Amino acid sequence: MEFSSGLLENAVREMSQLPGIGKRTALRLVLHLLRQPAGQTERLAHALCSLREEVKYCSNCHNISDGDLCEICANPKRDGSLVCVVEDIRDVMAIENTSQYQGHYHVLGGKISPMDGVGPNNLNISSLVEKVKEGKVKEIIFALSSTMEGDTTNFYIYRQIEAYGVATSTIARGIAVGDELEYADEITLGRSILNRIPFESSLKR
Amino acid sequence: MEFSSGLLENAVREMSQLPGIGKRTALRLVLHLLRQPAGQTERLAHALCSLREEVKYCSNCHNISDGDLCEICANPKRDGSLVCVVEDIRDVMAIENTSQYQGHYHVLGGKISPMDGVGPNNLNISSLVEKVKEGKVKEIIFALSSTMEGDTTNFYIYRQIEAYGVATSTIARGIAVGDELEYADEITLGRSILNRIPFESSLKR
């Protein structure tokens, strides 16, 4: 694309660095901002910069937080001996939306993925092992996506903590509520039969 | 969505003001920026702000420009007596990419659309009429999209300039190169038959 202005070209180039935003979409977004009052662009720029500069991570669970401890870790009603290991803060938000979980979280910040150059040292794993060593944790719940990387990460962490006698569990895999059996993949369906639960306990939910 | 940080919520809210960006996409983009070096966020914010503050429009054609005149209007090789009327600068870029046009442009900045509160006074129409009045223009080419609003805008401008004896034309509507006839809509196909061109002249292109 040939741009008639260097300023415009620069703005489009920076915008198209974002994932899923190509040059055409970037141009559309930038031209939209030009048609809006200047205040909107300033607010966007300021919000992004101040987040990037002032962002804090909870010292306990590594969730994004405004203070030293996030609201979840600071809440005395929540059970700190139950720790749910998730990949990123979107997973925390997803689980919080279910209102079914009253423990703490531990945000790894990614999954072990040698292909993308992410090793155990790039993730928040050592602080989790430290928590387990201190004897504060009774149960670790693995809630990573069940991909090769997720399974590798689960297993890596499991090997680090198994010596300390902490209970470990993983979230149930099975047919989603409302899904038709005939469209389920065979691995999921097979696991849902192997890991079946007593009918009476399913009635209570 | 419940955010664990006010800064994050603010950034997501501002990002989701952009057209086609919902809250989930905005969160994905903002979290991406957090994982990148701080310089990327700063460059994006600076590029957007400096574009918004320092943007200039060509005094002749209203295209976005770095100087008082855009590169097209400043180019002495281009024919200023031929003016192609377009809706916005993306149309200028699209026509420039064809390398088939050597005249000037006139960017209206939109189409007349009472439903969206856009009247003739919100568009760069008076400066076009002024150019025609001064006798600088031999031909006006209407290149707006053929919607109700585009046709209305064409007709409004035509009524303003018809008294000054300037030639007017509109870009050809017809079957796109490479398209199958059977899938064309009947209005386009009908027009392409009415506005047929001599076979010899089609061979030259």
Mind telling me how many Å the CA of B107 is from chain A's nearest CA?
A: 13
User: b/e string for A21-39 if b means 16 or more Cβ within 10 A?
Assistant: beeebbbbbbbebbeeeee
Q: What single-letter DSSP state applies at residue A175? A: P
Chain B positions touching A5 (Cβ under 8 A) are: 55-56, 64-66, 70
Of the ranges A17-21, B8-12, B177-181, which one carries the lowest mean pLDDT score?
B177-181
pLDDT of residue B177: 84
3-class state of residue B120 by DSSP: helix
CATH superfamily entry for domain A6-54: RecR Domain 1 (1.10.8.420)
Length of chain B: 205
In whole angstroms, what is the distance from residue A184 CA to residue A96 CA?
26
Mind telling me how many Å the CA of A13 is from chain B's nearest CA?
A: 9
Q: Quick one: CA torsion of B140, B143, B148, B152, rounded to 10 degrees?
A: -20
Backbone phi, psi, residue B114, to 5°: -55, -30
Please determine, for residue A202, whether its predicted confidence score (pLDDT) is greater than 90. no
Mean of pLDDT values over A152-160 = 93
Answer whether B3's CB lies under 8 Å from B9's CB: yes
pLDDT of residue B25: 94
Please determine, for residue A105, whether its predicted confidence score (pLDDT) is greater than 90. yes
The DSSP code sequence of B5-46 is -HHHHHHHHHHTTSTT--HHHHHHHHHHHHHS-HHHHHHHHH
Q: What is the CATH number of domain B73-171?
A: 3.40.1360.10
Chain A positions touching B53 (Cβ under 8 A) are: 38
Helix (H) or strand (E) holding A56: strand A56-57
pLDDT of residue A1: 66
Given the candidates 3.40.1180.10, 3.20.20.70, 3.40.50.300, 3.40.1360.10, the CATH classification of the domain at A69-171 is: 3.40.1360.10
Mind telling me how many Å the CA of A5 is from chain B's nearest CA?
A: 5
pLDDT of residue B205: 61
Mean of pLDDT values over A8-12 = 93
Q: Where in chain A are the domains?
A: 6-54, 69-171
Interchain contact, A14 vs B56, CB within 8 Å: no
ipTM for this model: 0.82
pLDDT of residue B119: 92
How many other CB atoms sit within 10 Å of the CB of residue B181? Answer: 8
Confidence of residue A205 (pLDDT cuts 50, 70, 90): low
pLDDT of residue A192: 85
Identical fold at A6-54 and A69-171? no
Helix/strand number for chain A, H first, E second: 9, 6
Of B21, B66, B93, the CB nearest to A1: B93
Residues 6 or more apart whose CB falls under 8 angstroms from that of A193 comprise none
In the predicted model, what is the mean pLDDT of chain B? Answer: 90
Q: Where are the alpha helices (DSSP H) in B69-185?
A: 71-74, 89-98, 126-133, 148-161
Query: What share of chain A in percent tops pLDDT 70?
Result: 99
Mean of pLDDT values over A135-140 = 91
Confidence of residue B13 (pLDDT cuts 50, 70, 90): very high
Burial degree of B187 (CB within 10 A; 0-12, 13-18, 19+) = exposed
Interchain contact, A44 vs B17, CB within 8 Å: yes
Q: Where are the alpha helices (DSSP H) in chain A?
A: 6-15, 23-35, 38-54, 71-74, 89-98, 126-133, 148-161, 186-194, 199-203
- Kindly list the distances between the CA atom of residue A155 and the CA atoms of A133, A144, A162, A168, A173, in Å, as whole numbers in the listed order: 17, 11, 10, 11, 17
Of B4, B10, B49, the CB nearest to A45: B49
Best of A18, A28, A56, A95 to substitute, by most chain B Cβ atoms within 10 angstroms, is A18
pLDDT tens string B92-128: 999 998 888 999 999 999 999 999 899 999 999 999 9
pLDDT of residue B12: 94
